[in-house]
Amino acid sequence: MAGDTFIVAPGAAANKGTTVNRIGNNTIAIAIGLAFSAGAMAQAMSKGEYKFGQNRVAAEYKSGKAACAALAGNAKDVCRLEALGKEKVAKAELEAQFKPSVNASYKVSIATADADYSVAREKCDDAAGNVKNVCIKQAKAAAVAARADAGVRKKTTDAHERADEKSDNFQGVADEKTFAAQKKANEQSAEARKDAALDKRDADYAVAKEKCDAFAGDAKSNCMNEAKSRFGKS
């Protein structure tokens, strides 16, 4: 999988609660609405709208960050990361609307995955020991899955766009060339899905191994053997 570029979360003492809405509830809807949608790509905004959007994002981030001041400990750190993540996703969304492209939509999905990971990772600081370690691995696995799925969508879209271009060029020449172009696109899409599945499996295996650390002796050995069997590891 490509190198991780997750938001780095600051450490803090354990405390719970936040005043900023959970990023996942808001930004995933944005990502789904924008990601690889032909309709979204057809609706570019004006420079004036873009500037207004930039000011709105900045104001919302300032307001969200200010709301964290009343909190303390880890709750404050989580709140700040939620505000920061929301800002990053909103900026990516704005860019995707201003200059629509498959890559811009992909960046919305990546910003969402990174923001959700950052918040989930910070929330793990409310736990300790193996529970915390499992929490961290689960947060990472979720981010890996989200990034992998975004990559599949992007690669699939890119491949079929190239195939469509070739098909247009081949019109009136030979149907088999058009078929070959689409077949290659399907193969590239299948390869992307395969790579994504491997990335997800590795991340899930890491979670399973971490859970086994809660045991000792034969119980731990049995747990590890079951995890290796389930995820096809030797």
C-alpha 220 chain-centroid distance: 32
Give the Cβ contact number of residue 190 at 10 Å. 13
Q: Which of 31-45, 55-69, 156-170, 186-200 has the lowest mean pLDDT?
A: 31-45
Confidence of residue 78 (pLDDT cuts 50, 70, 90): very high
Q: Give the model's pLDDT for residue 31.
A: 40
Q: Which of 67-71, 76-80, 86-90, 180-184 has the lowest mean pLDDT?
A: 180-184
Contact by Cβ (8 Å): 89, 27: yes
CA distance 4 to 137: 14
Q: What is the 3-state secondary structure (H, E, C) of 107-148?
A: HHHHHHHHHHHHHHHHHHHHCCHHHHHHHHHHHHHHHHHHHH
pTM of the model: 0.75
Encoding tokens for residue 116? 């959700």
Q: What is Dmax (Cα atoms) for the chain?
A: 70
- Least Cα distance to 8 among 88, 65, 68, 71 occurs for 88
Q: Give residue for tokens 């990174």.
A: 114
Encoding tokens for residue 52? 């207004």
Q: Is 225 a residue whose pLDDT tops 60?
A: yes
> Could you give the angle at which helices 102-123 and 73-98 cross, rounded to 10 degrees?
180
CA distance 102 to 191: 19
CA distance 105 to 94: 10
Per-residue pLDDT, averaged over 152-167, amounts to 84
CA distance 45 to 98: 5
Q: Give residue for tokens 């999905």.
A: 109
Distances (CA, A) of 181 to 104, 160, 165, 184, 195: 25, 8, 9, 5, 21
Residue 71 three-state SS: coil
pLDDT tens profile 80-112: 999 999 999 999 999 999 999 999 999 999 999
pLDDT tens profile 23-54: 444 433 334 344 444 444 445 789 999 999 99
